[in-house]
Amino acid sequence: MNRTYNIAIYAADTLAGETLVRQLEESLFDGKPLPVMSLYPLVESAQASGSVEFHGETLEFIPADEADFSATDFLVMPAGCHRNAQLMTRAVESGCVIIDAAKGAASQGYTVPVMVDLNRHFIEEAIDNRYFAVPGSAVACLLPLLQKLHQRFTLSRINLVVMQPVAALGKKGVDALRKQTIELLNGKPTEHGDFSARLAYNLIPEVDAEEGEKIGNEANMRNELLVALGEELDIRVTCITAPVFFGDSYVVDLDTVQPVDFQEIQSLLSELPEIVAADGPGMPTLEDAAGSDQLHIGKLRQQSDYATDLSFWMVADSFKRSAVHAVELIRLLIKDFAK
C-alpha cells in the first residue's frame, strides 16, 4: 500500500489522548508502521500549549478551532473526552471519518456503537455516515468478553463494581493524588480541592453526575452495556474512585438463564487471546495491567448450588484498551473500507 493517511487526535493533551498517540506510533500494518503521513494533535483550549512526540518528530498542539480538516482522513475523539459536536460536524463536512470514544457517544443513541471484536458486521454499514461511536468507558474492556459469554450461555444479570484510578479524573487527579500522598506522609494537612473528597488513602463512590454532565459514569457504563448487549438484561454498575494512579479493577458478578458447566466457561476464556487467566493461587493486580492491552482475570468461580452464576476479578488498563480498539478500527478501515 502506497497511500498514507492524515490523522487528527482531539484532546491530545490528556492522558487518554497521549495513550492514543503512543498506540498509533506502536501499531503495525502488514508488518510495518501504520501509514500515517501527518498527525495533528488538537487541544480544546487555545491557551493550551505544549507538544507531543510522534515517530521522533515534535508536534505542537493545535487549537481545535483552528483545525483544518480538508486533508484529514480520520478524527479520533479519545476515551473520556467531552464531545465537541461542532468540531465533528466540521470534520464530517470535509470528508473526514470520525471515531468517537467521547463520553456518552456509545450510550446515548447517536449511532450503533462498534468495535472490531464486538460487532464487525456493523462497521461496513456505518462507513456511509463516516461516523463510528466506539465504547470509551472502562466497561469497553469487558464488552467483547461479556458478549461472548452472553452468546454462549445467555446472561440474565450483570453486576459490576468498577474501581477507577485517579487518571480517569485527568492529569489534575494524578497531580492531586501525588500531592496529597506526600502531604499526608509528612504529617501535613491536605485539602481535597476540586474533588468531592480527599483522593489519597480514600475510596470515593460516585454520587451523581459531574457539573455540566447529563449522566454520571455509572449510568453511562450501564447504557453502553445495554446498547451493546441488549435491553433485556438486568445491569447494575457501581463506580468507585480508588487511590491508585493508573489501571482499572473490576468485580464482575453474572447470572445465567440456565446452569452452565464451569469447564465450558474456562474453555471459552482459553480461546480468547485478550484474556490472561490467573493459574494457581496468585491473583492479578494493577501492576500486571499497567501498560498491558490484555485483560487479567482471577478468582473465577461459581458460588451457587445451581451453577447459574459466575464471578471473577479483573484488572485492565482501560486507556490502553480503548486506544487499541480505536487503532484496530482505523487499521480495518484503511485495509477494507477507506475510500
> pLDDT tens-digit profile of 277-319?
887 677 899 999 888 889 999 999 998 888 999 999 999 998 8
Which uninterrupted H or E stretch holds 21? helix 15-26
**Residue 239, all three cell numbers:** 463506580
pLDDT score for 211? 46
Average pLDDT, the chain: 86
Q: What's 231's DSSP letter?
A: T
pLDDT band of residue 132 (cuts 50, 70, 90) is confident
Q: Say if domain 140-317 classifies as CATH 3.30.360.10.
A: yes
Q: Please tell me which residue, 209 or 166, carries the higher pLDDT value.
A: 166
Domain boundaries, the chain: 5-136+322-337, 140-317
Residue range 252-278, pLDDT digits in tens = 999 999 999 999 999 999 888 889 988
Buried b (16+ CB within 10 A) or exposed e, 222-253: bbbbebbbeeebebebebebbbbbbbbbbbbe
Least confident among 37-46, 109-118, 228-237:
109-118
| C-alpha of 236 from chain center | 19
pLDDT band of residue 137 (cuts 50, 70, 90) is confident
pTM metric for this prediction:
0.85
Percentage of the chain modeled with pLDDT above 90: 47
- Domains 5-136+322-337 and 140-317 equal at CATH topology level: no
User: What CATH number should be reported for the domain whose range is 5-136+322-337?
Assistant: 3.40.50.720
pLDDT band of residue 3 (cuts 50, 70, 90) is confident
Asked if residue 21 has pLDDT above 80, the reply is yes
Cβ(265)–Cβ(275) below 8 Å: no
Cβ(139)–Cβ(239) below 8 Å: no
pLDDT score for 212? 45
